[in-house]
């Protein structure tokens, strides 16, 4: 069975074709600048790369181009579209309706449209991706996998904000959480590595990339997470502020004469690592500059790590215990200094880092000492594989 995984953005489309017989990636790629001048596709298979520059008006033309690349005589990896048994779509916001992945039906499409107001930047693009695929591959089953679904097990004490309840009842304002596919994937792997029944495990998963979130996974279920109604909440990120005093928004608007849209742009695009370091939103640049003695970058790293450390402590308290801390995503998987900085000072919780193991780990491993009560793990996330597995499970029934 070959499964195509699609992650559609407003002007881009990422894809992977996965052979589920051995869960290997046959090809993957990225279409950019859909509907904008200079549209292009970069298609990778094995060690080869194939690029096409071609005007693409919309997502339908983008999907057609992806299928052409996948079935191309010279650069393709399948002989016809019929070899694709199902398509799995990443959908950002499932609202309260979706606590798991689903086969996409007309009712599901309707519910996705209803949820669009909760994620106006993401869901409309995801919907366009699905509609385009349905048009080009009308007979291929499609599955939706939601970033929010894993967190639907959060109890009301974790997901309700201290606002008038009416906003929850009418507008569905509550904490939803994101990166759920990643938190689910790495926490399941961590449970295997702990070698205990899932019900007996308490894990904090730290997805640290451009966007970052931390989740408390108790008994295999998400019980709290740092992102909220939107992905702006929680820890400091590449360009996002994370949690701030909400009154700051009014304060900036009044002092700087900015509109709400301008302030939201500051919080989403000009804050976090780039805002504090005045250097870069990329952890590698901030790290390198800090290592060269730049004080602003050093302080930025401290603020970044301190915020994450506080959440690890908070979630250990929320769960009443802690068996493992998991690091994943771009920074979590690759930056040993960042991991060391985050767990520094957590020894009182029984967290002891093995400095050598932490420096040398590749892809996956335990980087705490043998006598550390809490295991520190590095686990590579693989959201595409998680989507493909759900798609296979639902469509082979
Ligand atoms: P996204 O959220 O866009 O999927 P990623 O998970 O790819 O992001 O993470 C991107 C972040 O990971 C960037 O801040 C980048 O600097 C950081 N990163 C990637 N590789 C390394 C590395 N070797 N050392 C430190 N940081 C890294």
pLDDT band at 18 (very low <50, low <70, confident <90, very high): very high
Task: Determine the distance separating the centroid of ligand 1 and the alpha carbon of 333, expressed in angstroms.
Answer: 8
Cβ partners under 8 Å of residue 346, min gap 6:
309, 312, 313, 374
Count of CB atoms situated within 10 Å of the CB of 312: 21
Cβ contact 229:176 at 8 Å: yes
**Ligand 1 atom 25: residue of nearest CA:** 335
What pLDDT digit, counting tens, does each position of 234-243 carry?
999 999 999 9
What's the rounded mean pLDDT across residues 314-330? 98
The pLDDT score that the predictor gives to residue 118 is 87
The pLDDT score that the predictor gives to residue 313 is 98
What's the rounded mean pLDDT across residues 271-294? 97
What pLDDT digit, counting tens, does each position of 81-118 carry?
999 999 999 999 999 999 999 999 999 999 999 888 88
C-alpha distances in Å from residue 283, one per residue of 128, 298, 305: 32, 11, 12
Mean pLDDT over each residue of the chain, to the nearest integer:
97
Task: Determine the distance separating the centroid of ligand 1 and the alpha carbon of 37, expressed in angstroms.
Answer: 28
Of 147, 218, 233, 390, catalytic: 147
Does 147 qualify as catalytic in the annotation?
yes
Q: Contacts by 315-321 with C-beta closer than 8 Å and gap 24+?
A: 315/204, 315/214, 315/215, 315/216, 315/224, 316/202, 316/204, 316/349, 318/158, 318/216, 318/223, 318/224, 319/202, 319/216, 319/218, 319/223, 320/202, 321/202
- Using the structure block, give the residue that is written with the tokens 């499964």: 3
The pLDDT score that the predictor gives to residue 117 is 87
Ligand 1 pocket mutation, candidates 122, 284, 291, 336, criterion most atoms within 8 A of CB? 284
d(CA 102, CA 73) in angstroms, rounded, equals 34
Task: Determine the distance separating the centroid of ligand 1 and the alpha carbon of 81, expressed in angstroms.
Answer: 34
CA-closest candidate to residue 383, choices 155, 151, 186, 102: 186
Q: What is the pTM of this model?
A: 0.95
Please tell me the least confidently modeled range out of 8-12, 29-33, 151-155. 8-12
Residues with CB under 6 A from ligand 1: 209-211, 238, 282-284, 287, 329-331, 334-335
Cβ partners under 8 Å of residue 192, min gap 6:
none
Sign, CA torsion 243/156/379/15: negative
Pairing verdict, β 40-45 and 24-32: antiparallel
What's the rounded mean pLDDT across residues 251-257? 98
The pLDDT score that the predictor gives to residue 122 is 87
Cβ partners under 8 Å of residue 320, min gap 6:
202
Cβ partners under 8 Å of residue 225, min gap 6:
151, 154, 175, 177, 178, 183, 213, 214, 215, 216, 234
C-alpha distances in Å from residue 327, one per residue of 219, 237, 264, 290, 324: 18, 15, 29, 22, 10
Whether the predicted pLDDT of 339 surpasses 90: yes
What's the rounded mean pLDDT across residues 178-203? 98
Strand partners, 14: 7, 30
C-alpha distances in Å from residue 277, one per residue of 28, 172, 367: 34, 36, 29
Task: Determine the distance separating the centroid of ligand 1 and the alpha carbon of 328, expressed in angstroms.
Answer: 10
The pLDDT score that the predictor gives to residue 168 is 98
What pLDDT digit, counting tens, does each position of 119-159 carry?
888 899 999 999 999 999 999 999 999 999 999 999 999 99
């Amino acid at each position: 069975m070959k499964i195509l995984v699609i992650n559609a953005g407003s002007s881009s489309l990422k894809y992977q074709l996965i052979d589920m017989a051995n869960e290997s990636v046959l090809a993957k790629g990225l279409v950019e600048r859909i509907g904008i001048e200079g549209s292009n596709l970069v298609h990778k298979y094995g060690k080869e790369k194939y690029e096409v520059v071609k005007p693409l008006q919309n997502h339908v033309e983008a999907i057609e181009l992806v299928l052409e690349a996948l079935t191309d005589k010279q650069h393709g990896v399948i002989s016809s579209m019929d070899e694709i048994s199902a398509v799995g779509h990443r959908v950002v916001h499932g609202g309260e309706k979706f606590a798991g992945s689903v086969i996409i039906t007309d009712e599901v499409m309707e519910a996705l449209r209803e949820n669009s107001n909760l994620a106006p930047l993401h869901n409309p693009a995801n919907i366009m991706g699905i509609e385009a695929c349905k048009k080009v591959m009308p007979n291929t089953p499609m599955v939706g996998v939601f970033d929010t679904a894993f967190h639907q097990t959060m109890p009301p004490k974790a997901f309700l904000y201290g606002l008038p309840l009416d906003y929850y009842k009418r507008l569905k304002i509550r904490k939803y959480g994101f990166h759920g596919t990643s938190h689910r994937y790495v926490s399941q792997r961590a449970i295997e590595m702990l070698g205990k029944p899932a019900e007996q495990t308490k894990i904090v998963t730290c997805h640290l990339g451009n966007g970052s979130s931390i989740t408390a996974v108790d008994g295999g279920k998400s019980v709290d997470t740092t992102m909220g109604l939107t992905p702006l909440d929680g820890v400091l990120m590449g360009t996002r502020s994370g949690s701030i005093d909400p009154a700051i928004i009014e304060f900036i608007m009044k002092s700087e004469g900015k509109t709400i849209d301008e302030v939201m742009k500051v919080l989403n695009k000009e804050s976090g690592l780039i805002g504090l370091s005045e250097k870069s939103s990329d952890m590698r640049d901030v790290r390198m500059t800090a290592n060269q003695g730049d004080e602003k970058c050093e302080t930025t790293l401290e603020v970044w790590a301190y915020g994450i450390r506080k959440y690890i402590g908070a979630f250990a308290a929320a769960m009443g215990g802690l068996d493992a801390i998991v690091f994943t995503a771009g920074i979590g998987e690759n930056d040993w200094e960042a991991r060391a900085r985050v767990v520094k000072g957590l020894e009182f919780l029984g967290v002891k880092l093995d400095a050598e193991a932490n420096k040398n780990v590749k892809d996956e491993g335990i980087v705490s000492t043998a006598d550390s009560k809490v295991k520190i793990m590095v686990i590579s996330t693989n959201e595409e594989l998680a989507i493909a597995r759900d798609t296979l499970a639902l469509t082979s029934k």
